[in-house]
Amino acid sequence: NAGVMQNPRHLVRRRGQEARLRCSPMKGHSHVYWYRQLPEEGLKFMVYLQKENIIDESGMPKERFSAEFPKEGPSILRIQQVVRGDSAAYFCASSREQGKPQHFGDGTRLSIL
């Protein structure tokens, strides 16, 4: 999965803390997508961003979750006041254009104690 870089690979937080997940898209890609995967399930769409714009956040929980993709720097998925149910693998993908295959990073495994 060279190209889309996610960090950290593993993140442990206590309930009530904040989690910040970072994603740098492939070179030349300006479309970024975040997905969440629970154990034994497929990926679930969360949010789609282009540089400085949130295009679709229909898959994001209404509270505590936010995402950004600034003009400079990586895309950030931020989870405030984490709860046990936020434990999951969070994957970021990027594409050159909308409708083209999305290429994924290796994910961030978030564990909530």
Partner 1 sequence: DQQVKQNSPSLSVQEGRISILNCDYTNSMFDYFLWYKKYPAEGPTFLISISSIKDKNEDGRFTVFLNKSAKHLSLHIVPSQPGDSAVYFCAASADSNYQLIWGAGTKLIIKP
Binding site for partner 1 (CB under 8 A): 1, 4, 6, 31, 33, 35, 40-45, 48, 55-56, 58-59, 91, 93, 95, 98-99, 101-107
Q: How far is the CB of 35 from partner 1 (least distance, A)?
A: 8
Nearer to partner 1, 75 or 95 (CB): 95
Looking at the DSSP bridge assignments, the partners of residue 91 are 35
Q: How far is the CB of 73 from partner 1 (least distance, A)?
A: 21
Judge contact between 45 and 59, C-beta under 8 A.
Answer: yes
> How far apart (Å, rounded) are the C-alpha atoms in residues 105 and 71?
20
Closest alpha carbon to 84 in 45, 113, 42, 48? 113
Judge contact between 92 and 34, C-beta under 8 A.
Answer: yes
Please give the C-alpha separations between residue 90 and each of 21, 28, 63, 71, in angstroms, as whole numbers.
Answer: 8, 22, 17, 22
Nearer to partner 1, 39 or 85 (CB): 39
Nearer to partner 1, 9 or 15 (CB): 9
> Beta strand pairing status for 75-79 and 65-68?
antiparallel
Nearer to partner 1, 41 or 81 (CB): 41
Q: How far is the CB of 88 from partner 1 (least distance, A)?
A: 14
Q: How far is the CB of 98 from partner 1 (least distance, A)?
A: 5
